[in-house]
Amino acid sequence: MEGPRFLPLASYREYPPEEMVQRARAFREEMARRRTVRDYAARPVPREVILECLRTAGTAPSGANLQPWHFVVVEDPVVKRRIREAAEREEHEFYTRRATPEWLEALAALGTDEHKPFLEDAPVLIAVFARKYDVRPDGSRAQQYYATESVGLATGLLVAALHHAGLATLTHTPSPMGFLGEILDRPASERPFLLLVVGYPASDARVPDIDRKRLEEFVTTLRAVEGRAPEAP
């Protein structure tokens, strides 16, 4: 086994604390404008924008640097229709059979149902797949490590990059999603992770009137006590 190779960290940039706060606040304010959008204009999206955002997704950290993600960009109206039809069949089962009353009550504030016209209306769908394993030249399988976590990180960067570029998105996760692999002809080594809807919001687009949690509701900070070394949590 060949040993690891290391290079000097030349890409890091340090900023003065005041500038760090300013940059963090500016990014937070930009991301706070992001909303999940269900109403899309039909106009096309520049393809290079999508590709640049996917390049950003590809910079995500991953278990053992195996980068276990694959993205399928769908612009073909025929394929989008097939995806919508299959997704709506699963969503019908979810809303009428699988979902518990508590789950349906949680979704009520969002106004969602089994109908998913955005899967056809939006100009771009990005199907995100997680590789469960790679196939070596001899036919044996090479295990992936932390594939779900790694693909989740890459998808988060992709959503942020698309928003930063000026596009709206929606994360769609019908369950089960096996139809995505079949329609998009993906190998058995990949499993569908998420379907990302991408485009410009329609001129009359509306979003649910909902709130986000306050910082103190989802963050706990453990500070060192003065004069005493930090204790393990």
Domains and CATH numbers, the chain: 34-202 (3.40.109.10)
Tens of pLDDT along 181-203?
Answer: 999 999 999 999 999 999 999 99
What percent of the chain lies above the pLDDT cut of 70?
97
Q: Taking 80 as the threshold, does the pLDDT of residue 167 lie above it?
A: yes
Question: What pLDDT sits at residue 232?
Answer: 54
Burial 175-193 (b: 16+ CB within 10 A, else e): eebebbbebbebeebbbbb
Give pTM, 2 decimals: 0.93
Number of CB atoms found within 10 A of residue 74's CB: 22
Q: Taking 90 as the threshold, does the pLDDT of residue 230 lie above it?
A: no
Question: What pLDDT sits at residue 135?
Answer: 87
Q: Taking 60 as the threshold, does the pLDDT of residue 107 lie above it?
A: yes
What is the average per-residue pLDDT within 65-93?
97
Question: What pLDDT sits at residue 223?
Answer: 86
Q: Which of 130, 129, 153 is nearest to 56 (CA)?
A: 153
d(CA 180, CA 10): 40
Question: What pLDDT sits at residue 204?
Answer: 97
With vertex at residue 183, the alpha carbon angle to CA 182 and CA 185, rounded to the nearest 5 degrees, is 60
Q: Taking 80 as the threshold, does the pLDDT of residue 1 lie above it?
A: no
Q: Which residues contact 124 (CB under 8 A, 6 or more apart)?
A: 45, 50, 73, 74, 75, 197, 198, 199
128: enclosing H helix or E strand = strand 124-131
Tens of pLDDT along 38-57?
Answer: 999 999 999 999 999 999 99
What is the average per-residue pLDDT within 91-95?
94
What is the average per-residue pLDDT within 6-30?
97
- Do residues 158 and 73 touch, judged by C-beta distance below 8 A? no
